[in-house]
Amino acid sequence: MPKASITTTPELEAYLTQNAKIPFSRVVSLSGGTANFTWRLYSPSGESSIIKHAESYVKDITTMPFSTDRMDFEKKAMDALPMLIPQDDLLRIPKIHFYDPNNHVLQLTDGGPRTLKEAYTDHLLNIPVLGRRIGIWLARLHASTRSVDLKASFDNQTAKSIYRYAYASSPAVFSVYGHDAAVGSRINETYGSQLRTDSVCICHGDFWPGNLIVQSAVSYGWSNFNTTVVDWEMVRDGCGATDVAQFAAEAWLLDRFRGGRGLFGAFLKGYAEGARENGEVIGDGFLERVAAHFGTHVAFWPTVVEWGTKEETKELVSFGYDLLVKVLEMDLPFMKNIFSGLETS
């Protein structure tokens, strides 16, 4: 299929008509996501699907290169992983309808209009139930994707490099907020460096409430929401503790700033339950990696994505910094107290 320019809605409509031969009645541009161009496509019968297109840069930061192989990895994940992860009646991975590897266009099932981050305050959503199920599902993903050949096929070097961004940026953040930048440097050298060589299992790579789409399964079932795990472009072989820590950090922020609904604790307990289900014990090394990544995330990302006031942002940076100091001191009782839900024994 010849190369096409697809960065505007008219260009996508022309591509769908002339190149992909996909019928549609309407196309709506979506604002979510920073890396790719995305649209909701309506078929002539009224059914909706999602179209994603990757360019060789970040959509919202056109000066930042981002290899288009990210879409090849995403497609590979959505093809391979549903056959490996035990079936779940609540969580699922989108199905692929169409893929054009030359133009980096992906059409997949539409999970719905709201992310878990957006729906968090909806009291029809049973956060403790959903948090537990998300944790169990993630543990199953990590436990079922450990074959050497599978991990080798997900050696996503672009994702590994990008994922280290928060580690590399934390020393400057600590300096700005009056902390010792050397703590961030040591964390980056000790833990950020491991992202390049980790190969325990397949990681989603960007696992947070913004990449889970929730949709009511039945109108009367207030705890029964279908949840679709989307945006697999950062999928990679790695250490599952980073997925756990990223989701836990964002869940903790939601609990703190959006109503304290208990997503953080329910998720950690669910992950521990899923680990036990697979006969695994969460050891001190795993906890250490969770704490290092959690602390880095909470200290850095709220300075980029606003959660609260300037004073509250300062408090978050200090909290993350203090946790990272405890990590460097190997203060396991302190870490176990914060992440108590992760206990498998």
67-77 confidence digits (pLDDT tens): 999 999 999 99
The mean per-residue pLDDT over the stretch 213-238 comes to 78
Cα distances (angstroms) measured from residue 155 to each of 67, 179, 233, 274: 14, 35, 12, 25
* Residue type at 74 in one-letter notation: E
Write down the pLDDT at residue 86: 87
The model carries a pTM of 0.95
Q: Would you place residue 17 in the very low, low, confident or very high pLDDT band (cuts 50, 70, 90)? A: very high
Which top CATH class is 87-94+112-342? Answer: alpha beta
Q: Kindly tell me if the per-residue pLDDT of 342 is higher than 60.
A: yes
Residue with tokens 């590994």: 160
The mean per-residue pLDDT over the stretch 259-283 comes to 96
Q: Kindly tell me if the per-residue pLDDT of 225 is higher than 90.
A: no
Proportion of the chain above pLDDT 70, given as a percent = 96
Tokens of 79: 């093809």
Beta bridge partners, 41, equal 27, 49
168-177 confidence digits (pLDDT tens): 999 999 999 9
The mean per-residue pLDDT over the stretch 283-294 comes to 98
What one-character DSSP code corresponds to residue 16? I
Write down the pLDDT at residue 216: 65
Domain boundaries, the chain: 87-94+112-342
Buried b vs exposed e over 140-170: b needs ≥16 C-beta within 10 Å?
A: bbbbbbeeeebbeebebebbbebbbebbebb
Write down the pLDDT at residue 222: 47
Q: What is the largest CA-CA distance in the chain?
A: 62
CA distance 20 to 27: 14
Write down the pLDDT at residue 87: 81
46-70 confidence digits (pLDDT tens): 999 999 999 999 898 899 899 999 9
